[in-house]
Amino acid sequence: DPPSAPHSVDAVVVGAGLSGLYQLHRLRELGLTAMAFEAGDDIGGTWYWNRYPGARCDIESMSYSYSFSPELDQEWEWSERYASQPEILRYIHHVADRFDLRGDVVLGTRVTRAVYDEDRHFWRISTNTARVVTARFVILATGCMSAPKAPEIPGADSFTGQIHHTAQWPHEGVSFTGRRVAVIGTGCSGVQAIPVIAAEAAALTVFQRTPAYVLPAHNRPLRTVEVKELKSHYPQFRQAQRSSRGGTVFEPPTRSALEADEAERTASYEAAWDSGLLNGLLRTYTDILTDGTANETAAEFIRSKIRSIVTDPATAELLSPRTFPFATKRPCLGTGYYATYNLPHVRLVDLRTTPLETITPRGIRTSDGEHIVDTIVLATGFDALTGSQLAIDIVGKGGVSLRTKWADGPRNYLGLVSSGFPNLFTVLGPLSPSVLTNIAVSLEQQVEWITDCINHLRERGLTEIDATPRAEADWSTRVAELAARTLYPAVDSWYTGANVPGKPRVFLAYAGGLDRYREECDAVSRGGYAGFVLSASPS
Ligand code: NA7
């Protein structure tokens, strides 16, 4: 196109991971022209970038997958209970081919800026490859954990060996054989990578600031009979997922942990531990996430497990979380995680007692000296939920930038639209249930709501939808109230933005459950989009 006439489409989708690809599919079904920009050199989003050793989903594969196509459900065969990163990426490629989505995805292209034309009701989108596209609608499918947190550790540039963030892992050329390796960070990524690296490396030193609660995954190949059984009622299973609280199917607990005696509690915690489910322990009693005393019974159970696995009592104690209640940060699913610390070539360095000072050309210096290593793995996490959106210079009505508007924390209505930024929708963004749920189910719910909304506008010849400031303010209050009923907001975590220096401290997710959230969203659309202003461009 000549520079004076930017390419124009009905909708631009930002990101071609699980959310963006499904959004593209649904928009095309409506007959819209749509294109997706993807920063990566291939599709897949999270599952494209996070190629670190041991990367795996912590929701069961037959649950963590699209539910929109019964045919897809029947034809795809997962090999393991918990799918590995390569298998999920293969699945995403299969879906893109099956629904012919690739043609509308522009790879290797990062959206850098989006400016709203408030007279004509469209967005002007610019990219790092100097492309300019105009679109009535923009859907940010940029992911909730996709902006890797910059390592604020001094000296990282001076290191002469290899240094890799788990979420920016090279496609090839990383080998640990014969190498001395350091891992910084013991969140879910570190927990998955550490045992796999330990199996290959000559020596592994883990630099831990805060220990995580790690539950055993009990991963295994899926059995033909169980796959067949689930597939025989997959539609009903998918329906149950959709109407569930967190996007996974389970029998909700009915009693408080404090109503049970110790023997009974231990028996239910043991069963949950053996289940290999991320939320197994959370589902034993009603109040694990709402009552500190109830929570402590589960936390102490996990600590007792750590003591029973880790042979050195001092190491077991260092690995035992004590500074935050169980599950107020996302629990981790591990495979052989705690037993890894029994290996003679694995060392745990506690950064609370010997703080990390700097990365040196040869390794890592803590207050008690230099640890010489060949490779450093940064498993230091993400600027979650808001990072990927604020990475784009988004300018809404009146020339206001989203970065300015969100300086004290994100504000939007239903977690979907921020007032003053019309026709710009977010999938899995802040103030929605996303990160507290099985995101495969959450993203479908949001994509479907957005698609219906766009359809509603088009059928009525309307060209703009914006959230009212009032509805947005009420939503923030509501999200904060729901969080206040739980133990979440008091804890420093990426849920509260506390992991990123300078980030406003706000509990970033809707904690009322996906079922209730879905009802709230549906009530709004059924009620003619109350809390939104719908209009038609005069031009
Ligand atoms: P997380 O869960 O944010 O974990 C990051 C880890 O890195 C955590 O242990 C941090 O300790 C540690 N960290 C972060 N910055 C530093 C510095 N500067 N020095 C030392 N240690 C540091 O990220 P993950 O990638 O593991 O998991 C993210 C989610 O992705 C996961 O929950 C899944 O849903 C998928 P801290 O706790 O801040 O003391």
Residue 209 CA, closest ligand 1 atom number: 39
> Ligand 1 atom 37: the closest Cα is on which residue?
210
Residue with tokens 């990282």: 156
- Pick from 165, 324, 365, 380 the residue to mutate for probing ligand 1's pocket: most ligand atoms within 8 Å of its CB: 380
Q: How deeply is 401 buried, as exposed, middle or buried, from its count of CB atoms within 10 A (0-12, 13-18, 19+)?
A: middle
How many angstroms does the Cα of residue 267 sit away from the middle of ligand 1? Answer: 31
- Digit-coded pLDDT (tens) for 5-57: 679 999 999 999 999 999 999 999 999 999 999 999 999 999 999 999 999 99
What is the predicted pLDDT for the residue at 477?
97
In the structure, which protein residues have their CB atom closer than 6 angstroms to any atom of ligand 1? 145, 152-153, 166, 184-190, 209-210, 330, 351, 356, 379-382, 494, 499
Question: Sheet containing 363-366: which strands, arranged edge to edge?
Answer: 356-359, 363-366, 369-372
Average pLDDT, the chain: 97
pLDDT at 1 over 80: no
Residue 459: its pLDDT value, please? 97
At residue 2, the pLDDT reads 45
Mean pLDDT of the region 443-458: 98
Q: Whose CA is nearest to atom 25 of ligand 1?
A: 381
Q: Hey, is 165 helix, strand or coil?
A: strand
Ligand 1 centroid–CA 406 distance in Å is: 23
User: Which of ligand 1's atoms lies nearest the C-alpha of 381?
Assistant: 23
pLDDT average, residue stretch 73-94: 98
382 CA distance to ligand 1 centroid (A)?
Answer: 7
For residue 150, what pLDDT is reported? 74
Which conformational region is residue 103 in: left (phi greater than 0), alpha (psi within -120 to 50 degrees), or beta?
alpha
- Residue 151 predicted with pLDDT over 80: no
Ligand 1, pocket-test mutation among 47, 152, 189, most atoms within 8 A of CB: 189
Which pLDDT does position 271 carry in this prediction?
Answer: 98
Decide if the complex's ipTM is over 0.95. Answer: yes
Looking only at Cα atoms, what is the longest distance across the chain?
74
The string of pLDDT tens digits covering residues 266-321 is 999 999 999 999 999 999 999 999 999 999 999 999 999 999 999 999 999 999 99
List, in order, residues 6 or more apart from 489 with CB less than 8 Å away: 480, 483, 496, 507
Residue 449 C-alpha to ligand 1 middle, in angstroms?
32
Q: Where are the beta strands (DSSP E) in 246-372?
A: 332-334, 346-350, 356-359, 363-366, 369-372
- What per-residue confidence (pLDDT) applies to 4? 53
Ligand 1 center to 90 CA (angstroms)? 27
Pair 286, 260: CB distance under 8 Å: no
Residue type, 226: E
Supply angle C-alpha 73, 521, 387, rounded to 5: 80
What gap in Å lies between CA 113 and CA 111, rounded to an integer? 6
Alpha-carbon dihedral of residues 435, 439, 445, 449, nearest 10 degrees?
60
CA of 355 to the centre of ligand 1 (A): 16
Give the atom of ligand 1 at the shortest distance from the alpha carbon of 498: 38
User: 539 pLDDT exceeds 90?
Assistant: no
Pick the atom of ligand 1 nearest to 332's CA: 32
Distance from the alpha carbon of residue 379 to the mean position of ligand 1, in angstroms: 6
Compute the distance from residue 210 Cα to the ligand 1 centre, in Å: 9
Atom 21, ligand 1: residue with shortest CA distance: 185
Using CA positions, which residue lies closest to atom 35 of ligand 1?
188
Q: Is 335 helix (H, G, I), strand (E, B) or coil?
A: coil
Protein residue with least CA distance to atom 33, ligand 1: 188
Task: Please name which of 254, 299, 256 lies closest in space to residue 281, comparing C-alpha atoms.
Answer: 299
3-state secondary structure of 111: strand
Nearest atom in ligand 1 to 210's CA: 39
Q: pLDDT per residue over 474-528, tens digit each? A: 999 999 999 999 999 999 999 999 999 999 999 999 999 999 999 999 999 999 9
* Closest C-alpha to 467, from 422, 407, 525, 514: 422
Share of the chain above pLDDT 90, in %: 97
- Please report, for the chain, how many H helices and E strands are present, in that order: 16, 20
Beta strand 132-140 with 424-426 is parallel
* Terminal-residue alpha carbon distance, the chain: 23
Query: What pLDDT digit, counting tens, does each position of 36-48 carry?
Result: 999 999 999 999 9
Neighbours of 453 (CB within 10 A): 22
Residue of the nearest CA to atom 14 in ligand 1?
A: 380
Q: Return the pLDDT at 205.
A: 98
Question: Which of 58, 59, 188 has the most ligand 1 atoms within 8 A of CB, as the residue to mutate?
Answer: 188
Residue 185 CA to ligand 1 centre (angstroms)? 5
pLDDT in tens, 194-213: 999 999 999 999 999 999 99
User: Ligand 1 centroid to 499 CA: how many Å?
Assistant: 8
Strand bridging mode 7-14 / 132-140:
parallel
Distance 187 CA to ligand 1 centre (A): 4
> How far does residue 507's CA lie from ligand 1's centre (Å)?
17
**Residue-wise pLDDT tens digits, 396-418:** 999 999 999 999 999 999 999 99
| Rounded Cα gap, residues 420 and 465, in angstroms | 10
Q: Which residue's C-alpha comes closest to atom 23 of ligand 1?
A: 381
Would you give the DSSP letter of residue 267?
A: H
How far is the C-alpha of 435 from the C-alpha of 144, rounded, in Å? 7
Tell which atom from ligand 1 comes closest to the C-alpha of 186.
9
Q: Compute the residue count for the chain.
A: 539
**Cβ-contact 358, 365 below 8 angstroms:** yes
Mean pLDDT within 331-354: 98
Ligand 1 binding pocket mutation candidate from 499, 500, 503 (most atoms within 8 A of CB): 499
Q: How far is the CA of 57 from the centre of ligand 1 (A)?
A: 16
Residue 331, both tokens = 């629990």
For residue 151, give the ligand 1 atom closest to its CA.
18
190 C-alpha to ligand 1 centroid (Å): 8
Please give the distance, rounded to the nearest whole angstrom, from the Cα atom of residue 435 to the centre of ligand 1.
Answer: 15
What does the alpha-carbon distance between residue 493 and residue 229 come to, in Å, rounded to a whole number? Answer: 39
pLDDT at 152: 82
Nearest CA to ligand 1 atom 6: 185
Judge whether residue 3 has pLDDT over 70.
no
Question: Ligand 1: distance of its center to the CA of 372 in Å?
Answer: 22
pLDDT in tens, 421-437: 999 999 999 999 999 99
Closest ligand 1 atom number to CA of residue 145: 30
